[in-house]
Structure 1
Amino acid sequence: MSFDPILLMGGSGAIGRQAARAIQTIYPDVPLLIGGRDLSKAQNAAAEMGHAQGVALDTASADLGLGEQNVSAVVVLYKDHSLAGLRFAQSRGVPHLSISSGIFEIAPEIARFMHAPTASAIVLGYEWLVGATTVPALQLVKSFSQVDEIRIGALVDEEDTGGPAVAADFEHLNHLLPAALTLRDGIWLWREGDDAKTIFSALDGTEINAAGFSSIDVTGLAAATGARSVQFNLGQGVSSSRRKGGALSTEILLDISGLDNAGQALHTRHAVVHPGGAAPLTGMGIALILERLLGLDGKPPVAPGLYFPYQILDASHYLAHLAQEGGEVLDLASS
């Protein structure tokens, strides 16, 4: 079966290259459009990737400057303040995935969906590293009969840079939203100041200074599990693998508390680790979401609707790909 090209808006950046590499590793015959403001940069990136074409995008135009060019999906890899990619995707009736909005910025996208709910599938891909927290967490809670609290600690290695676009997105988020949306004892609140400061233990036990972060993971996990307390904390420093003298990695610490299936108190602690850092894990998530959105795996494509990544990603499939890339979910309580 042949597919129209997947449009990667901002595809010449660091995350775009990782996403393209992940897609082509699984589905090398799926063509890509590498879109950006700088045609030369987009064309150079496309030439490096192969089976890709660089195109200049005009986000002020309804057709993005693509004319009659067909696409099978639109992936936005930077903060699209004008929603140009979403409007284009809905007009063409193709799936849309964006990964860079803050939790406080989703109202315009939800409004677009509410006015055209059957136009296409829209994925709010702002979960940390596009599903790397929620997919493992929702597998882990299966050992609980009741989930009371989920605490997430994400450690980004200080040498793990995602390129200028990623830096700009984080600067935008940190400038506009210093407070962290948190569920505490059933009440939604915004942690700020000293209340947002915290410490969590890295994979090797090192204490990491962190601050609350408003990740949409918090809202999704709260709704999916019924937990009364959910918080996300973000720290930057030296990853455990680099502290041992190896290469950098990315770490996500998951502490879950509640009751087991016998009604007894249960606390688990796991770490999601990827040896390549944040960018390849993000790229993997994007590729696996596109696989389902388009039905590249031979299964029916995802129907029009509004989705979190974990709602369309198959957990066993995701974790198998994580293992193939050298990543793993470690049981720290057992170890």
Structure 2
Amino acid sequence: MSLDPILFMGGSGAIGHQTARALRAAHPDVPLLIGGRDLAKARQAAEEIGGAQGVVIDSTADDLGLGARPVSGVVVFYMDHAMAGLRYAQKRGVPHLSISSGIFEIAPEIATYMHMPDASPIVLGYEWMAGATTVATLSCAQAFIRVQEISISALVDEQDTGGPTVASDFEHLNKMLPAALTRRDGVFVWREGEDSKASFHAVDGTQIEASGFSSIDVVGLATATGASDVQFNIGIGVSSTRRQGRPMSTEIIIELAGEDLNGKPLRTRHAVVHPTGTAPLTGLSVAMLLERLLGLDGHPSTPPGLYFPYQLLDATVYLQRLRQEGGELRQLQLQ
């Protein structure tokens, strides 16, 4: 199918490159606009990606400085506090996907959507790894008739920085919201101080010190499953593969408790693992979201609405693509 270019705002970084790689693997001819404040940097990234063009983004202009240039979708890889990308996408009726906002920063996006609900599809793409966590968790939850507890523990290798923009975004999130949104006994609370400290066991069994993180995954998973207890913790250290003398990886530990399909108590433990880190896993998620939004997967394009990534990503197809990249959803022994 013929497609106008997809605009990558801030697409010159690691996640932008990995998104382009994953998208091009399935759809080699998809054109891209790599937008940024520095034209030279944007052009260099576009040249490295191939089949792309670098452009300057002016966030103060209604047309982003792009004039009448047509686009088929907008992906924002940095915190767009001005909502410039979202307003631009709505005016043109094209999909919008942002991956870098925090759970406390969704109000502007929701308000913008509420005033123009029929303009275009909008994806709140700042779940951890843009849907990798929620899609896998909900797949594991199919073994339950009732989910009571969900504990997500993300291990980020200390060598897996994701680039300066990602580091800056994390610094911003930690500064603005040191407390961690958590669900306990059916009530949403904020963990802070000593209460936010946690630990978990990595894939290889090593105990990892962690702290609570306010991920929108908590809200989505609590709503989707009805679980009364949902928490998200992050630990930064040495990944299991690197402790075994291999290159770094990223891993997400998923622990569920509740009742199985026969009503008996059940606890499970799984891990999402990607062998080359956070950027490729996030890039895969963003690429597959674009495929679904634009109908590149052979199904009708996504209608206007406000979506979590897990509402758009087919779990079976997602996990299959993850395996093709060398990753997996692995069942672990209970600790």
1:233-252 to structure 2, matched below 5 A, reads 233-252=233-252
How far 1:15 sits from its partner (Å)? 1.2
Q: In the aligned structure 2, how far is the partner of 1:275 from the partner of 1:334?
A: 22
Per-residue Cα deviation, 1:99-146 (whole angstroms, up to 9, x for no partner): 000000000000000000000000000100011110011011111011
**Aligned position for 1:212:** 212
* Aligned residue type for 1:150: I
**Aligned position for 1:65:** 65
Q: In the aligned structure 1, how far is the partner of 2:181 from the partner of 2:35?
A: 33
1:1-335 to structure 2, matched below 5 A, reads 1-333=1-333
Q: Secondary structure in 2 aligned to 1:129?
A: helix
Per-residue Cα deviation, 1:137-183 (whole angstroms, up to 9, x for no partner): 10111110110000000000000011110011001000000000000
Q: In the aligned structure 1, how far is the partner of 2:101 from the partner of 2:56?
A: 23
Q: Secondary structure in 2 aligned to 1:142?
A: helix
Q: In the aligned structure 2, how far is the partner of 1:285 from the partner of 1:334?
A: 28
Q: In the aligned structure 2, how far is the partner of 1:76 from the partner of 1:320?
A: 26
* Aligned residue type for 1:173: L
* Aligned residue-pair number: 335
How far 1:334 sits from its partner (Å)? 7.8
* Aligned residue type for 2:261: N
Q: In the aligned structure 2, how far is the partner of 1:264 from the partner of 1:298?
A: 40
Structure 1: 5+ residue runs without aligned partners?
A: none
How far 1:263 sits from its partner (Å)? 1.0
* Aligned residue type for 2:196: A
Q: Secondary structure in 2 aligned to 1:66?
A: coil
Q: In the aligned structure 1, how far is the partner of 2:167 from the partner of 2:26?
A: 28
RMSD over aligned Cα atoms: 0.9
* Aligned residue type for 1:104: F
Q: In the aligned structure 2, how far is the partner of 1:331 from the partner of 1:201?
A: 14
Q: In the aligned structure 2, how far is the partner of 1:206 from the partner of 1:13?
A: 31
* Aligned residue type for 1:265: P
Q: In the aligned structure 2, how far is the partner of 1:157 from the partner of 1:298?
A: 36
TM-score when scaled to structure 2? Answer: 0.99
* Aligned residue type for 2:213: F
Q: In the aligned structure 1, how far is the partner of 2:332 from the partner of 2:298?
A: 37
Structure 2: 5+ residue runs without aligned partners?
A: none
* Aligned residue type for 1:299: H
Per-residue Cα deviation, 1:273-324 (whole angstroms, up to 9, x for no partner): 0001000000000000000000012210011000000000011110000000
* Aligned residue type for 1:107: A
Q: In the aligned structure 2, how far is the partner of 1:62 from the partner of 1:116?
A: 16
Q: In the aligned structure 1, how far is the partner of 2:183 from the partner of 2:298?
A: 39
Q: Secondary structure in 2 aligned to 1:133?
A: helix
Q: In the aligned structure 2, how far is the partner of 1:288 from the partner of 1:334?
A: 31
How far 1:14 sits from its partner (Å)? 1.4
Per-residue Cα deviation, 1:242-273 (whole angstroms, up to 9, x for no partner): 00000100000000000011111000000110
Q: In the aligned structure 2, how far is the partner of 1:122 from the partner of 1:288?
A: 15
Q: In the aligned structure 2, how far is the partner of 1:108 from the partner of 1:184?
A: 27
Q: In the aligned structure 2, how far is the partner of 1:28 from the partner of 1:36?
A: 23
* Aligned residue type for 2:225: T
Q: In the aligned structure 2, how far is the partner of 1:6 from the partner of 1:204?
A: 40
Q: In the aligned structure 2, how far is the partner of 1:218 from the partner of 1:140?
A: 16
Moved over 6 A (4+): none
